Amino acid sequence: MPHITADTLLSLERYHKERAAFRARVIAHKKLRTLHLGDHVTLLFEDELTIRYQVQEMLRVERIFEEEGIAEELATYNPLIPDGSNWKATMLIEYSDVNERQDMLAKLKGIEREVRVQVAGFDPVFAIADEDLERENADKTSAVHFLRFELTPAMAAALRGGAALALAVHHDHYRAELAPVAEAQRAALLADLA
């Protein structure tokens, strides 16, 4: 799968002019790539477009235009783009009440390792979590995690053939399932597989 390079990014000036239209396009694109596991866990399945948007926004907010700074952002974000055999997702744990959020983040330690996808007819694939850095400490887990799901060629072929896709999280303090994933969302995720 393609990675983002400095020469494919918009300059800060051009991005400023095109930002509203680009942002609207990305928001629409993300709707098909956002899956909710219950009321408090959301998975945003990343791809080249979602990550390109993130990079452009970081460059805009931080006013980064030097080659070295751009290279650092690309080195940080390019690993979040699926490479054809996997899905990569940002997992958000969301509780609107601050006290409830603090309490649940303490209880939900390890939840990132309990998220799974399952292609009909195959064993579940558990998330490989937070490969870039540890997001859990002795007291709590983070509200944001980065997950990778490695699929086999047979799983990808089954999905292309119409096999159903399900997602689940089974943690002692939080259980939710999404089965089956809606066809439009399943198709969007299938585009990430070679």
Whether residues 7 and 53 share a domain: the answer is yes
Cβ atoms within 10 Å of 37's Cβ, excluding its own: 18
Residues 88 and 168 in one domain: yes
On whether both 74 and 88 belong to a single domain, the answer is no
DSSP codes of every residue in 78-95: GGGS--SSEEEEEEEE--
> How many domains are contained in the chain?
2
The verdict on 77 and 130 lying in the same domain is no
- With cut-offs at 50, 70 and 90, classify the pLDDT of residue 65: confident
CATH code: domain of residue 147: 2.60.40
pLDDT digits (tens, 9 = 90+) for 85-112: 999 999 999 999 999 999 999 999 999 9
Return d(Cα 42, Cα 35) in angstroms, integer. Answer: 6
Instruction: Please answer whether residues 42 and 178 qualify as being in contact, where contact means their C-beta atoms are separated by less than 8 angstroms.
Output: no
**Cα distances (angstroms) measured from residue 54 to each of 49, 127, 154:** 9, 22, 32
pLDDT digits (tens, 9 = 90+) for 24-52: 999 999 999 999 999 999 999 999 999 99
Do both 42 and 132 map to the same domain? yes
